[in-house]
Amino acid sequence: MTARTLMVQGTASSVGKSIVTAALCRLFVQEGLRVAPFKSQNMALNAFVTPDGGEIGRAQAVQALAARVVPTVDMNPILLKPEADSRSQVVVLGKAQGRLSALDYQARKPELRELIAGALARLRSDHDVVVIEGAGSPAEINLKARDIVNMFVAELADAPVLLVGDIDRGGVFAAFVGTLELLEAHERARVAAFVINKFRGDIKLLEPGLGMLRERTGVPVLGVLPYLQRLQIPDEDSLSLDDRRARRRAGPGELEIAVVRLPRISNHDDFQPLEHEPGVVVRFVERASELEAADLVILPGTKSTLADLAWLRETGMALAIMERAARGEYVLGVCGGCQMLGAKIIDPARIESEQEAGEGLGLLRVDTEFGFEKRTTQLRGQAAESSFLASEAGAQIAGYEIHMGRVSRAPGCRAAFSITERNGQQQAALDGALSADGVVVGTMIHGLFENPSLRRSLLGVLRSRKGLPQPTELPTPSVVDEFDRLAGVLRENVDMKLLLGLIGR
């Protein structure tokens, strides 16, 4: 059996395509269907590792969770991880294939079309419905000739298209009409309905515009989705950090965690579970002055460690972090952030940047050397020693690794975690490092704060240090519950008869 398909495209980037796709995946599962997500090409620095060690976009892993299926590399056969304005690391079917300029990548697109078709065909053979996500806008007329992610995929899959627009930005009706005007006639015919996203206010004031839109374009509005505050689902788009950067400072009785917004920040969703804890304010900051009074400063992952390390020094962030550690205030580095906290970073083959070597901040006794082999694993392990990150040695954790740099500890330097399993195979390895006084911790493990026990442990240590009372019990946000919430919102606000009809129900 070949699965039916439905595609979600948008009038622009960051209009909500990924979330709408996840909502559709869960709704169709609730209808008793076997569902899989698909995005042919994803450009993102937030990535995830599949159980067999393949690397895909974080959004497709989240959508697989919504669909209650195991994520596979077929769900996102091409992942582009930008390293500079016109160069990206190219990941094909879960494996890094090297760095390509934008022009070189364009030249490879004919062969990539065949790869995309194969991945989509495999998904369709195993499921009832495949929900496909586009990228950016299908009306980028300068790129359409080499399109492999929007209308090319819609035609390949013979998929009706839902066109999503963000009304919170303003100009949604112009965006819908303008997008249709720039499409070819056969492409316009694929647009089955509009979806207005992020609406706030009285729907009655919007209704005249909906009728005029239908009259002008002949395309119905499937529904108007409300603006959902503090959605507890990872967002892979760094544009979402623009809203979170300006978040208020912590008030009395609250904790403040400052995450440095590096120019090439990756996997910023690592810290989203902390954002949903009561009494915790997480801020993404770009100035040294914004680190003051934070209870914890985090250096996150990056796609270009040496380049972002230079930015830390230029902005004064590096000095502020070193002074903070000297005062005995907590600093955490994750993946690239861990590497920056070390002594040396060596990249002799210039795998990640144009520099061959650089000096780290010297807060951890570790060196990093980049090699051609990329480590992508799901793992299990435990805290090697007690620290502010995990107050009990032996505390169990799960997470994943995505990095090309190998970290080595100096003799006598304590590790942060011991790894017991990688990709389902037993291991005996150490991860990360602790400073001698314990105020600086580095780890190469992503997804740590999705472990409720580790999250509670960290917040407990921070509260004790600040003299705040401990809550009797911290809630454990459930992403699964959020998918059910999303599906419920979809049911309440769209024409279900029209929606189900698009997949032949």
501 vs 505: CA distance, rounded Å: 5
In degrees and rounded to multiples of 5, residue 27 shows phi and psi of -60, -45
- Closest Cα to residue 120, out of 56, 187, 190, 73? 73
Query: Are β-strands 301-302 and 296-299 bridged in parallel, bridged antiparallel, or unpaired?
Result: unpaired
Of 9, 46, 44, residue with least CA distance to 135: 9
* Distance from chain centroid for Cα 122: 25
Task: Map residue 271 onto helix, strand or coil.
Answer: helix
Place of tokens 């100009």: 171
Catalytic residue selected from 25, 127, 268, 335: 335
Cα distance between residue 500 and residue 182, in whole Å: 28
Provide the token pair at 256.
Answer: 């403040």
Q: Of the candidates 44, 218, 54, 49, which has an alpha carbon nearest to the alpha carbon of residue 133?
A: 44
Active site residue 335: yes
Residue corresponding to tokens 């194969």: 118
- Classify burial at 348, counting beta carbons within 10 Å of its beta carbon; exposed 0-12, middle 13-18, buried 19 or more: exposed
Residue whose entry in the numeric block shows the structure tokens 């920040």? 265
Catalytically annotated residue among 127, 268, 403, 446: 446
Active site residue ranges: 335, 446
